[in-house]
Structure 1
């Protein structure tokens, strides 16, 4: 989803570029209409740009003036019948360049007149342009007067004039503005979204089973911080729900255990073999209810209860606690540790339940005198029953559900909560169930 959806920076860039281009087109229409219908302004720009092109060919050396017609105006002023004429004079009246005969001199200013810096006269009103004008230039501390004239503008220089104005007053400034605005906007968005990106990465790492989980929104913009605060409130409500579910499951377990204990007490007063069988069935029922309650309680586990646990110490304490019960059921229990200690972060009560369930299952579903071996390795706990007969612990999936199946579900859920692995295998002398917390 993150790859298919557009980024906020991309959306802003496209929209800014779209509206900037729209503004440029609108301004282009305004500039074009303003200049196109203003013949006087077009004529002034025509004289300014054309005389500047002609003046670019003047070269002043120590005691001489040289002129070479620029390539950009070569076609217009090389021949006298092109519709364009020009004359360039020095300050002392010396002729530098001329592309017309004596007849066109009548259109220019007389040589005995002190020329102004700029002059313009329209020959025929309207378009195409027909005009005569001139402009003074100072090159190498010498003053030159460039005069030009056109009749009908046959080469459509007016279009070049319009295009130069569009480039100079529209495209260049608008492009600079677009780059600055777009770059500044993207940079601002990137900086503003930096804490949001960090919060998104933190949200990916959030444990929904940990009521202490929250998002830090101190550096976020106000609008995004409001969303982060709402997420934190949602996690607080989840924590409250988990706590209420714990209370509910504990209450259910207490309410069921009490009448069962009373029933067992009453059966103890009856001296009859059937009462003994009923007590055994009642014990199985008590164990079944306890497993159901434990399985329901696992759905509301809070990872905030996790702490550093020594698996060797924890497993040995469970073995020591269950040893008398194992011997009473005509089984034997052995404990081995391949390491002195192995530290793991988890919930001690849940880990004890997992080991206890595995040992109890191995005792309940194997023949008498079976040896149950509990071995702790580097981040692993293995429970093996050394019995030549096939244990119900490893029945196929088609076997009918019983308390053993619920016990394994409890173990599997505990392993899943701790993000560990759970595997069963057959050995030469029995069956092995291994919990791997590495």
Structure 2
């Protein structure tokens, strides 16, 4: 299965995600190193965060201050005195009233005297190194009452240092950077979509380009400069292609016209020669003349002017074709019947529709045995069909890269190519119903041209 082309939005989004994650990792590493190698800053951060956590459980009711921790907080700050370390906690008011304490002599050893006014923040190093052994406190206002929460941590048995680091990185780094990252992604996708709207419009315009219109070009309005250069190059290529197509059309029409006259002169001279080989040569020239006529018809179909379309009647076209081609059909020992079941007016090029019906009838005449009955039917509805009771299409053309449509016998399948091309010009659909020895019916539906 052919791999899908990558989306520009997907490419940019993936790269933004990758580089944002790298930037976040680098920034987190820088912040981690900044705190990790600065014991004073990290210990202050740890004490501030832990005292703020404790302050959330201090309540003041009717002027009475109380400490009401939940089970998780009691476990977190439990009184520990072992080799792993210790945690001492004291909560008091500015006036020296003890609200909570889990220490006795340790409080006097590590905390400020009760008689001292409560400072906004204080910290003292008990022992250097990690895990931390520090003491400190912070004052908080609760319903007009100042409360000092003091904490002494020896060897950090509960890993408060790591919690402080993670909390700082989450609050100061991960959350704002993630928010910024989401905004950048959203803004980038929105910007790319807005910038590519003209490109999508150009793609739609490219699909709608009419190959018959030599002035058809892709729009450059509001196109980003980087893509506008590509579109300009495509428009220049379209100009060159239009010139090439026009040259091919002129060549096909001119060569068919120029060869027809000498072929007619050769046939006239051959008619004066009474020899079987002259008759064979005449048949070959007839075949050549037929191919030239088909090439001329194909070139004419490719050189259609959009202004040539007009409202016309398929029934009238069918009747005119049947009348004009009847002698040719009868000369080849075939019969032709015209059936009109009523058709609505359609927008078409009458000369091309006539050409198409003539090709279908000529094919039915040339590829079927004598006595074949051919029916040209118009309607009901915007449908025309050519049906015969001959041997069926046993040599349908297939597409060849170099020669276009070639029959399995090696002959050019120009007749059906002309019919298909004219149908495409009218957005008509072709249905071929054929079977060996049962005949062929080719229907063309002009519903899109009504």
1:16 equivalent in structure 2:
16
Residue number in structure 1 paired with 2:403? none
Aligned to 1:34: 34
CA contact (8 A) 1:88 1:97 kept: yes
Residue range with higher mean Cα deviation, 143-152 or 365-374: 365-374
Deviation at 1:204, TM superposition (A): 3.9
Q: CA deviation at 1:100?
A: 0.9
| Alpha-carbon displacement from aligned partner over 1:277-312 (angstroms, at most 9, x marks no partner) | 589648725633434533763794558477245322
Q: Residue 315 of structure 1: SS of its match in structure 2?
A: helix
Q: Partner residue of 1:257? A: 260
* Distance (Å, rounded) in 1 between the aligned partners of 2:47 and 2:382: 91
In structure 1, distance between residues paired with 2:172 and 2:409: 86
The 5-angstrom pairing of residues 33-432 of structure 1 reads 33-75=33-75, 77-79=77-79, 81=81, 83-206=86-209, 208=211, 211=214, 213-264=216-267, 281=283, 284-285=286-287, 287-294=289-296, 297=299, 300=302, 304=306, 307-308=309-310, 309-323=312-326, 334-345=337-348, 347-361=349-363, 373-377=375-379, 378-384=381-387, 407=415, 410-411=418-419, 414-415=422-423, 419-423=428-432, 425=434
> Are the equivalent residues in 2 in contact too, given 1:344–1:379 (CA < 8 A)?
no
Contact 1:359 1:383 in 2 (8 A): yes
- Are residues 231 and 317 of structure 1, via their aligned partners in 2, closer, same or farther at CA, if it must alter by over 3 Å? farther
Aligned in 2, Cα 1:291/1:135: closer, same or farther, shift over 3 Å?
A: same
**Structure 1 position 70, deviation (Å):** 4.7
Secondary structure at the aligned position of 2:69 is classed as coil
1:262 to partner: Cα distance:
3.3
User: How many angstroms does 1:160 deviate by?
Assistant: 1.2
Match of residue 404 from structure 2: none
Bigger drift between 135-144 and 357-366 goes to 357-366
Match of 1:178, SS? helix
Instruction: Say whether the 8 Å CA contact 1:295–1:409 is kept in structure 2.
Output: no
Alignment match, 1:436: 444
SS state of the match for residue 136, structure 1?
A: strand
Quickly say closer, same or farther: Cα 1:133–1:364, change in 2 above 3 A: closer
With the length of structure 2 as denominator, give the TM-score of the two structures.
Answer: 0.80
- Please state whether the residue corresponding to 2:45 is helix, strand or coil: helix
* 2-structure distance, mates of 1:41, 1:402: 92
Pairwise CA distance, 1:67: 1.9
How many residue pairs get aligned? The number is 430
Unpaired runs of 5+ residues, structure 2, are 397-406
Q: Distance in 2 between matches of 1:348 and 1:48?
A: 92
Give secondary structure in 2 for the equivalent of 1:233.
helix
Q: What's the CA shift string for 1:7-49, capped at 9, x where partnerless? A: 2222222111111111111111111111011111122112212
Specify whether residues 238 and 304 from structure 1 end up closer, same or farther in structure 2 by C-alpha distance, changes over 3 A only.
farther
Task: From the superposition, tell whether residues 394 and 3 of structure 1 become closer, same or farther in structure 2 (CA, over 3 Å).
Answer: closer
Report the equivalent of 2:25.
25
Is the Cα–Cα contact under 8 Å of residues 291 and 406 in structure 1 kept in the other structure? no
TM-score, normalized by length of structure 1?
Answer: 0.82
Q: CA separation in 2, counterparts of 1:401 and 1:50?
A: 92
CA contact (8 A) 1:333 1:373 kept: yes
Distance 2:295 2:6 in 1: 47
SS at match of 2:90: strand
